[in-house]
Structure 1
Amino acid sequence: MMGKRVRLENSSSASNCTHPGLIGGLCIKCGETMDNDDGFGGVALEYIHKRLRLSLEEIIRLRDKDFRNQLRQRKLYLVLDLDNTLLHSMDVNKIQENQEQFFLNRGIYKVERVRKMTKLRPFVHTFLEEASKLFDMYVYTMGCRNYAVEMAKLLDPEGVYFNSKIIAHENSTDKSKKGLDVVLGKENAVLILDDRESVWEGHRDNLILVEKYEFFGSGVTAGGTDDENDGVLDLVLKVLQRIHASFYDTEDLDTLLNRDVRRVLQDFRKEALKGCKIVFSGVLKPEKQHYWKLAEKLGAKCATKRGPGITHVVSLDSASDLSCWAIREKRFLVNPEWIDAARYLWQRQPEEKFPVTNELKIAPVTSCSVEVC
């Protein structure tokens, strides 16, 4: 009888269980066996624990709880891409045998387990050390898990920055994109660092786009590219520190609970070209084009025709009517790379560094689907 009562009590407990998550098909709370036919759904978080799946309600609960904990520590969340953002890798078999020792002598790692030669981006260790004081950090790569783990070991050999928060291609719910659905951080407190925008289709407002890092160019046999002057991570760290300081400019918990780091990021981005009014030369329907959208994100105002308020003409043709007007009226005449530079450097750049000549090789952008920071 005693055994029967225990089984009935367990059965009652299971029937009342909200089933917050499963490991291997067993509820992590009551132990009941469940499968897809039970309509559990949820999100797989196997980078945390093999075969772990949490319900959407449980994920929301955990995010809210952890967000309050992060607020007490005055931290935010930072999701970091690997390839071309923090490092650059090349298959070992693509490197000539007589070049391997040359690379190793230049501080490049040979990672046997995944057969890669890897160069870490300059300043990366200082970047991670300083960023970890302000952010709870994740790695998120479209590479496979074995590769992600090995690269994380190079970046974080003591396991103090990422711990188990290493998300690889097989951990994504959409294998062609990255998503914050597998990150246990509230979206309004997450910043993303990546060299590609297209993989973050649903989270562009969280994204800080960085210049692509490529050490191994097409001239691998010549010894890679000179990267000693790559100061991207130093610059990004300063931006992150400013965003963090702005988010935490108050001690009031209720105010912080309603803050959104995406708006803080948007405000900082708009400082880059604030006060500029731009007209584009030789572009049909410019308001639908990439550089128009990008310039507005950077705080500029854009116009479809010239006028007294115009400060800049963006052109690829120095002989166009608008270019000639800019010269005659003493307005700034720049090529489109001036806008790109403001995006990556977070401030307006000297116009004289971006002259318009008919020898420019920049192709006009004709589709608004092109990536925009």
Structure 2
Amino acid sequence: MNGPCIHPCKHWLTLRGECCECRSYIKRITLPTGLRDTSFPECRHWVAQQGVCRRCGEEVDERDGMIPFDYIAERTQLSQEYVTAMKRQKSRIGYGLRKLHLVLNLRSTLLDSCHISRLADRDKHLVEQVGVRDDVRRFSKRYACSDVLVKLRPFFDQFLREADGMFVMHVYTNLCRSDSRSMVRMLDPQGIFFGRRVIVHEDGLDHEHKTLGLVLAQQSGVVIVDWERRAWEPKDRRNLIQIKPYRYFKYNPRGTLRILFSFLKNKLFKVDSSPPPEQNMYDDDQSDQDTALMDLLKSLKDIHRRFFNGPSYDVRVLLNP
């Protein structure tokens, strides 16, 4: 696995001069619009960026069966044929390393967040703990009335370290791209655990549900961790492990104008800027003693062991006996 690659990388996906696959620097080459390389007379247009096939240079209709994968690189589209092939290849590489794929929800799973202006009185002291406590962070949100305070779930660091040895990890969240990137950097500042595998709301074709169609791995080897089952397409729910939602902050019931603004923003721009649904703002059952991630880690270790040592090579069978 660590030896030289038999088939050199084709550098089909690049971002800011860096190959998204092998991470090597690629000198940018600009192809004139409409120019087709005659050495590829039967090009299937598997990969396109900015409407141009990365292989032959011909213009590609982005609506012609191409699936957007902006989380890999900006304005990148892959054909269904290529997606299927990549899912198979990525899974085989993972199996060779004894790794499955793990898709993690972000908010209310790995962390909780709240606008500082909406903090309840009992939580306002946490603003002064930013920079003192490792599990309390803060970031500025565009077009927001105040900064956002983030509380990372207890044992998140140990969970990510140990899960990384068993899984290729992805984040899939209903947050917007800028917010999700800010929060993922808090969990993984060096990009060791997630890399560019951060899928957000606007990446999905069906904005009503999350889908494993955007995860480059075969469904039989993918485990989903989310607190909300109905957020996923029905066909993907057999891959799901539900986790107790992490709701650390107690939202201030006042501030009606701010709440109304968030509601309108959510409806108009399809961006999740409201508290997680079904949250009781007066609920007081959360504390720093939350052990859900450690309990989850035990379950994931068991699934990993049974997958690679048992007769079944489908996590859906293990999750739904």
TM-score (norm 1): 0.63
1:81 equivalent in structure 2: 105
Given the alignment, which residue of 30, 38, 45 partners 2:69? 45
Given the alignment, which residue of 71, 76, 82 partners 1:58? 82
2:19 equivalent in structure 1: none
Given the alignment, which residue of 292, 309, 312 partners 1:249? 309
Deviations for 1:81-109, whole angstroms, at most 9, x for unmatched residues? Answer: 01111111011221379964444426421
Deviations for 1:14-44, whole angstroms, at most 9, x for unmatched residues? Answer: 44111112101101111101224xx631210
Cα shift at 1:228: 2.3
1:283 equivalent in structure 2: none
Question: Quick one: distance in 2 between partners of 1:226 and 1:40?
Answer: 48
Matched, 1:29 2:83: no
2:137 equivalent in structure 1: 109
2:176 equivalent in structure 1: 144
2:72–2:197: 8 Å Cα contact kept in structure 1? Answer: yes
Question: Quick one: distance in 2 between partners of 1:11 and 1:103?
Answer: 58
Question: Quick one: distance in 1 between partners of 2:66 and 2:319?
Answer: 30
Given the alignment, which residue of 226, 231, 236 partners 1:203? 236
Matched, 1:135 2:161: no
Residue type of the partner of 1:187? Q
Q: Comparing 187-196 with 103-112, which one deviates more in the overlay?
A: 103-112
Question: Quick one: distance in 1 between partners of 2:77 and 2:187?
Answer: 28
Question: Quick one: distance in 2 between partners of 1:227 and 1:99?
Answer: 12
The DSSP-based 3-state class of the residue aligned with 1:118 is strand
Deviations for 1:99-137, whole angstroms, at most 9, x for unmatched residues? Answer: 644444264211124531111111111111100100000
Question: Quick one: distance in 2 between partners of 1:28 and 1:40?
Answer: 16
Residue type of the partner of 2:292? V
1:362 equivalent in structure 2: none
Judging changes above 3 Å, is the alpha-carbon distance between structure 1 residues 66 and 119 closer, same or farther for their aligned structure 2 residues?
A: same
2:257 equivalent in structure 1: none
Question: Quick one: distance in 2 between partners of 1:119 and 1:218?
Answer: 13
Question: Quick one: distance in 1 between partners of 2:73 and 2:44?
Answer: 20
Q: Comparing 24-33 with 92-101, which one deviates more in the overlay?
A: 92-101
Residue type of the partner of 1:73? L
1:63–1:184: 8 Å Cα contact kept in structure 2? Answer: yes
Deviations for 1:201-221, whole angstroms, at most 9, x for unmatched residues? Answer: 331100000111100124699
Matches within 5 A, 1:1-373: 10=36, 12-36=38-62, 40-95=64-119, 100-105=124-129, 107-113=135-141, 115-201=147-233, 202-218=235-251, 226-249=286-309, 259-267=313-321
1:122–1:227: 8 Å Cα contact kept in structure 2? Answer: no
5+ long unaligned stretches in structure 1: 1-8, 268-373
Question: Quick one: distance in 2 between partners of 1:175 and 1:238?
Answer: 32
1:178–1:200: 8 Å Cα contact kept in structure 2? Answer: yes
Judging changes above 3 Å, is the alpha-carbon distance between structure 1 residues 63 and 76 closer, same or farther for their aligned structure 2 residues?
A: same
The DSSP-based 3-state class of the residue aligned with 2:88 is helix
Identical aligned pairs, as a percentage? 33
Judging changes above 3 Å, is the alpha-carbon distance between structure 1 residues 199 and 98 closer, same or farther for their aligned structure 2 residues?
A: closer
Judging changes above 3 Å, is the alpha-carbon distance between structure 1 residues 70 and 109 closer, same or farther for their aligned structure 2 residues?
A: same
Deviations for 1:44-64, whole angstroms, at most 9, x for unmatched residues? Answer: 000000000000000111111
1:78–1:193: 8 Å Cα contact kept in structure 2? Answer: yes
Higher relative contact order (CA 8 A, sep 6+): 2
Cα shift at 1:194: 0.3
RMSD across aligned C-alpha pairs, in angstroms?
A: 2.6
5+ long unaligned stretches in structure 2: 1-34, 255-281
Q: Which has the higher helix share?
A: 1
Larger Rg: 1
Cα shift at 1:226: 4.6
